[in-house]
Chains A and B, each alone.
Chain A
């Protein structure tokens, strides 16, 4: 309203001098402020601005920015009498000292543009004419056979009023992997070395991504199609062939068995299982498929996957109460055991009401506790979309706005927790009053509205969460099935096709879009059958490749040309030590036969080995909370700590039992290699072991051998 009248008034002022349409703030000036970094986070776009001058972050709120420039501090920054003396033009040209330095000089185009805008009346302009509907970027993709050549991009913006403009100079660029491809402010892309990168092109809230591929530039590449077990391999191989990456060989049976056992049941195979599997003469693919089915039928499959889900759903007695944690854990286990369709499971979580004891999925609102957190958790966990930034400002890179943040939160506005009969029991109920979600800027009541597809999905006021759950878990939701398919893939392959897995956005493109599409489609066709998708992934040749690289894929970390060794999780490692040594660790509140994968929450065995190796506290639903790094303290613990040493020396353990049997040195070594590393020792290793065991106290030396094996990467990693 005010803006419009300002426009009228100022156009009259300007009309005497300039006949053509005057430059407008929103269309002509805002992009300059964005391009020159004025509105960036470290400068005036920061939460507190800079040196008393605040602009909206990356210019998401042009009205605010216009007011800041024209009116803040009694119009300090604008001089209508002598435009060139305006602070807003003196500062960036260093006509007066500017903490941000020289942004552009008085002979630059930006200077002339800014000056012309002010002389023409400094109008705000019509927001519609400045709304970008589409960015056309040429070339749409950059693919070079070797590093070196530079390519100039051309960016054309299409506006809501139908006009278009070449904005190559004003667009902002950045590269996801500058080591592979650098991009200049001018839009020129320089290829530096072999690899892939995505160049993000941004202009006034619209984003376009240009994939860049740089081949090694080596000659002599010969693609040899090693075969396909299923559709996954078709997509993986097609990318590998294009990038001139030669996949590793198929893993050996022992390597495969150890990997697939850790991945499906969380524990390593026993020496006898390895012996039987490697001796089996059935055709490899068939044999492996049979093993996969066998492993998935084991109870540990449910135990192992319930750890994952308990992490994501924050099963933790400090938040849920002890009984609540147990109930929720049981519900997760039951859902996994029954292979409950994923959409059904999520729907149950999102719509649960009542007692957290009687109706365990209601614990979702126990740990999220308030509407904003519930919304942020639901979107990040089930859609891989991070809404957090939009709480305070429109998302700088993405489409999500601050309005949408609160509109989506409004679905949880009525949801609240009260105490039940038991002091630790929570009861989830719908509030009858005081449930409005308000916009923080002006206190407007925000009505529930989906992020997209509002025409298709209705909002029932009495069943807000049901409405939300229907929309969120719908097949039409392009995020829901995809996020889960990508998440599952990452668990087995060590890296998401979109990575991090819970950060799906246009500026974080998938490394293999057709593959992700195919997985998503398969998941949907099988009605959100998680086991089906798992089975498909582990049956693929891509999953079964060796971790050993060849001359053509050593650099690759993105395209699944070889297995990526992953450090064992805290629980896997703990259980692997127990399995290898045959030693049982005892904890006060768990049964003796329990494995770490059975522990209900981080309260069990707190402050010990498991926490050191990254078991999460379960305070967030972010995958990132579980640490998978390798640290010095961990290494010291394995080398000198009691966990390994005591387990090896356990008089009830594997080694003690072996030593009293009459076995040869070589048989002893073979057993220890199979138990620890999941493979047979090589001939040279056998010779060395035999020599070592013969030259002194055999019992002590056998312990040394096992200690050395358990301290090797072959033990610590799932590779």
Chain B
């Protein structure tokens, strides 16, 4: 009898002690992971249900249409407010709800470490146990340097020679690379899918990064320099086209003319107009100085993923899901009418897969087309005649570039190899653009 009483007393004491001994709830370790796993699907920037965003502490604090974040969210996850959250899913366990309550009672503190540590870790060069997917390659205007997109880095090669430098950055994926016309700068855009986008500007000679703009909630695509080298344009999964000052790295303008993801940009010859292509099927022409939308260059057919311009004329080639490359001119020969396609110069043959990459040779003679099924074909731009087929790829082609001499075409994509072909489609060489680890043991741990 007394023994049992003692036990009760003891356990009561222990419970009290345990309560006092509990360390305060950590936002970073106990709250944020739950929000990320359970809530962010509907309360991310793309959805923002109930006006509530839960992607950062400050957004959480701000709350949404139903009130300030912390207490309102606790009300909804506990079922005190209806409908209970997570909406349509299983209710959170009681312990988790209790943890949220305790965190609020303790003053809802943000104990997240500053993200600098993480970023500095990201600047370590990657270890490649398998070749990465190569999404972008670019030649310097003199043809001596070849930039290749790697994993959280850009690899700068002496073309035909050694790896000169590794330029690490934040973006996991570099979707697009472009040298400035004078060859002094290298611009790169990409990001981490569904998380953030990044635009980087590098000083080529010193190998130093002069700008890193991290913004948006998804990756960027299709970077291009204005012909005078002063401006950089790039496209985004956030349906935007952004214009930056190449010198200062400052945003000039963000344009939202598209209804869907935008994949490519290219300036007109005089730099006054910009073309952007999107999943919304349009190649949109905008005025660079004002951001004003002028008109659609093309007749809308199917989603577009690639665009490139003729080196000397205001002609663009576009392609995408329809698998057919089209050649358009930017200047319409007459006033636009309904279902007008008067800007169309030529329609090329249908490819075996959706088009992901297009390139026009610097001498303006050839068009190269790369598709999702590893198909690369070279055409005479003027006649549409098939000049060559480049074979040997495994998986999709994500990027194509002609050497400034117009005598070689470089391809890369899913299989992680860079291949060089002559303009008839004969393979000249193939190489892995990244230093591959000898063994792959690391993968078994």
Residue ranges of A at the interface with B (Cβ–Cβ < 8 Å): 2, 5-6, 8-10, 13, 16-17, 51-52, 67, 70-82, 85, 87, 90-91, 93-102, 105, 119
- Whether A96 contacts B128 in the complex (CB less than 8 A), given A17-B443, A101-B86, A102-B38, comes out as no
- B414 touching A71 by the CB < 8 A rule? yes
B172 at interface, CB cutoff 8 A: yes
- A75 touching B41 by the CB < 8 A rule? no
- A52 touching B38 by the CB < 8 A rule? no
CB neighbours (8 Å) of B413 from chain A are: 74-75
- A79 touching B373 by the CB < 8 A rule? no
B67 at interface, CB cutoff 8 A: no
Q: How far is the CA of A70 from the CA of B260 in the complex (A)?
A: 21
B135 at interface, CB cutoff 8 A: yes
Residue of A nearest to B36 (CB): A94
- A99 touching B151 by the CB < 8 A rule? no
- Whether A87 contacts B193 in the complex (CB less than 8 A), given A70-B414, A75-B414, comes out as yes
13 additional contacts (CB under 8 A) given A74-B413, A102-B37: A9-B394, A67-B372, A71-B395, A75-B413, A75-B414, A76-B193, A79-B132, A81-B128, A82-B151, A93-B37, A97-B36, A99-B42, A99-B47
**How close is A11's CB to chain B, nearest CB, in angstroms?**
11
Task: Tell me what chain A mostly uses at the interface: helix, strand, loop, or mixed.
Answer: loop
B230 at interface, CB cutoff 8 A: no
CB neighbours (8 Å) of A96 from chain B are: 192-195
**How close is B126's CB to chain A, nearest CB, in angstroms?**
6
**17 CB-based A-B contacts, threshold 8 Å:** A5-B394, A6-B394, A9-B394, A9-B415, A16-B439, A52-B279, A67-B373, A70-B395, A70-B396, A71-B356, A72-B372, A74-B399, A75-B133, A75-B398, A94-B37, A94-B40, A98-B40
CB neighbours (8 Å) of B172 from chain A are: 79, 85
Interface residues on B, range: 35 or more
- Whether A79 contacts B194 in the complex (CB less than 8 A), given A70-B396, A71-B395, A94-B37, comes out as no
Residue of B nearest to A119 (CB): B443
Residue of B nearest to A102 (CB): B37
- A81 touching B173 by the CB < 8 A rule? no
B219 at interface, CB cutoff 8 A: yes
Partner of A74, one of B46, B175, B195: B175
Binary interface profile of B, 340-356, with partner A (CB < 8 Å = 1, else 0)?
Answer: 00000000000001101
- B151 touching A51 by the CB < 8 A rule? no
Binary interface profile of B, 404-445, with partner A (CB < 8 Å = 1, else 0)?
Answer: 000000000111100000000000000000000001110110
CB neighbours (8 Å) of B204 from chain A are: none
Partner of B55, one of A70, A80, A97: A97
CB neighbours (8 Å) of A93 from chain B are: 37
**How close is B121's CB to chain A, nearest CB, in angstroms?**
13
B97 at interface, CB cutoff 8 A: no
- A74 touching B398 by the CB < 8 A rule? yes
Residue of A nearest to B194 (CB): A96
Q: How far is the CA of A6 from the CA of B305 in the complex (A)?
A: 23
CB neighbours (8 Å) of A13 from chain B are: 130-131
B374 at interface, CB cutoff 8 A: yes
CB neighbours (8 Å) of A81 from chain B are: 126, 128-130, 132, 151
- B396 touching A71 by the CB < 8 A rule? yes
- B416 touching A80 by the CB < 8 A rule? yes
Q: 3 closest pairs, A vs B, by CB? A: A97-B44, A71-B396, A96-B194
Binary interface profile of B, 40-80, with partner A (CB < 8 Å = 1, else 0)?
Answer: 11101011000000010000000000000000000000000
Residue of A nearest to B279 (CB): A52
CB neighbours (8 Å) of B38 from chain A are: 94, 101-102
B202 at interface, CB cutoff 8 A: no
Residue of B nearest to A68 (CB): B372
- A74 touching B41 by the CB < 8 A rule? no
Partner of B194, one of A71, A87, A105: A87
Q: How far is the CA of A474 from the CA of B372 in the complex (A)?
A: 47
- Whether A74 contacts B356 in the complex (CB less than 8 A), given A100-B41, A102-B41, comes out as yes
**How close is A268's CB to chain B, nearest CB, in angstroms?**
52
Binary interface profile of B, 97-134, with partner A (CB < 8 Å = 1, else 0)?
Answer: 00000000000000000000000000000101111110
